[in-house]
Amino acid sequence: MMSHAQERSGSRGRDGDGRRELGMQSKRVRHEGYWTARAPGQLVARLTSRPRLVPSFLVIGTKRGGSTSLYEYVIRHPRVAGCLLKKGSHYFDVNFRRGWIWYWSVFPADAGRDVITGEASPYYMFHPLAPQRIAAALPETRLIAVLRDPVDRAWSHYQYERRLGGERLPFQQALEREPERLAGEVERMLVEPGYSSFAHRHFSYLARGRYAEQLERVYALVPPSRVLVLQSEALFADPGGALARLWRFLDLEPYQFGQARVFKAGRYAEQMPGTARRWLERYFADHNQRLYRLPGIDFRWPAPAGHGS
């Protein structure tokens, strides 16, 4: 297995002071002790001489599971400073080629205050290389996963991709063709670490809901004591209870704020077809049972008829 440094070698142009060359025409803006280069759809942060905070936590999943809301709640705590690139950098999945200096620069400067920082990139848990990259680079960082009923998550994910315009297939057909669409993608990502798979990231309605296999890969690299798994439905039903667990997990004092709004909530013009829901319930039943046997899982989703709870 290649090392963290070897995997990035050959793709890191540097200028004289060790900062990444931008290779584009851009407008430089001075802000909070770092240089940013703005280009259409991009924000590239460049490290200055000021020391920066290293992330103490990462929200690693799941897509369409509440990771954005959880992150927005966390950064309201007075001892938490957010990532400078919205909610996350996607460094350990699709931006790894940018290098550690780029990653470090997307976090706030260390001003000597008693604060922590972190980010939320929900592809981390599902990406085949991200967990090992995280374990190697941030061996003390705590990981948080927010898991939603995989049946509802699949429908939300599908509707999201439809709105973006990338998904053209009807829902049931997209589910049935997923193995064909994803065939060979993980293998190629492992062989070509710089390869970014559109299908793996966007058409993985079933695979992303197989939480047990993803968490098992994480637990093989990170002690379960450094991983907090929250149920999405419980987070939104009782934000105060879920956040109390989170504050303890991050060694932060209890903190309460106002109404916990839902961020990036899906609103759909149609309901999931009943036949598709029943198909998904059967598909995920055994995968969910496998999940329930893992450390840190203290919740259940409704089981279809004929399956144990």
pLDDT in tens, 70-92: 999 999 999 999 999 889 999 99
Number of domains in the chain: 1
Please report, for the domain that includes residue 270, its CATH number.
3.40.50.300
Instruction: Answer whether residue 36 is part of any domain.
Output: no
Instruction: Answer whether residue 109 is part of any domain.
Output: yes
Instruction: Answer whether residue 27 is part of any domain.
Output: no
Put simply, whether the predicted model's pTM sits higher than 0.75 gets the answer yes
- Domain holding 57, by residue range, is 51-292
Instruction: Answer whether residue 30 is part of any domain.
Output: no
pLDDT in tens, 46-57: 545 568 999 999
Instruction: Answer whether residue 111 is part of any domain.
Output: yes
Instruction: Answer whether residue 14 is part of any domain.
Output: no
Residue 212 contacts residue 291 (beta carbons within 8 Å): yes
Instruction: Answer whether residue 19 is part of any domain.
Output: no
Instruction: Answer whether residue 229 is part of any domain.
Output: yes
Percentage of residues of the chain with pLDDT beyond 70 = 79
Average pLDDT, the chain: 85
DSSP string, 218-251: HHTTS-GGGEEEEEHHHHHH-HHHHHHHHHHHTT
